[in-house]
């Protein structure tokens, strides 16, 4: 079974949105604006459902931010950790 088929069959009804509101830890959501695996709109929804959850968007990037924009991503992580 390929990865896409798994998401279509095994996980098609998996919905964890109600659980997001209960998350007790500070969370950061980050994504690429052109993420093919998890579209930006889904990340916006996750950030909206979680309390005090900032959303950082890397423009013109896909899913692998640590590879595509290595230095920018490293700087983002350092800044994020310094505020945690």
**Full residue range of the structural domain in which residue 33 is found:** 24-83
Is residue 61 one of the residues assigned to a domain? yes
pLDDT, tens digit, 9 for 90 and up, residues 44-75: 999 999 988 899 998 888 888 888 888 988 99
Phi and psi (nearest 5°) for 58? -95, 110
Number of domain units in the chain: 1
Residue 8 scores a pLDDT above 80: no
Is residue 18 one of the residues assigned to a domain? no
Q: What pLDDT is attached to residue 74?
A: 92
Is residue 14 one of the residues assigned to a domain? no
User: CA 9 → CA 12, 13, 14, 35, 38, distances in Å?
Assistant: 6, 8, 10, 21, 17
- Beta strand 29-32 with 55-58 is parallel
As given in the structure block, the two tokens for residue 25 are: 């830890």
CA-closest candidate to residue 29, choices 48, 56, 66:
56
Is residue 10 one of the residues assigned to a domain? no
């Amino acid at each position: 079974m390929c990865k896409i088929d798994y998401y279509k069959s095994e996980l098609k009804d998996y919905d964890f949105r109600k659980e997001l509101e209960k998350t007790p830890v500070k969370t950061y959501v980050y994504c690429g604006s052109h993420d093919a695996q998890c579209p930006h709109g889904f990340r916006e929804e996750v950030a909206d459902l979680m309390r005090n959850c900032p959303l950082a968007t890397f423009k013109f990037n896909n899913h692998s931010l640590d590879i595509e924009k290595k230095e920018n991503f490293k700087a983002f992580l350092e800044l994020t950790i310094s505020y945690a």
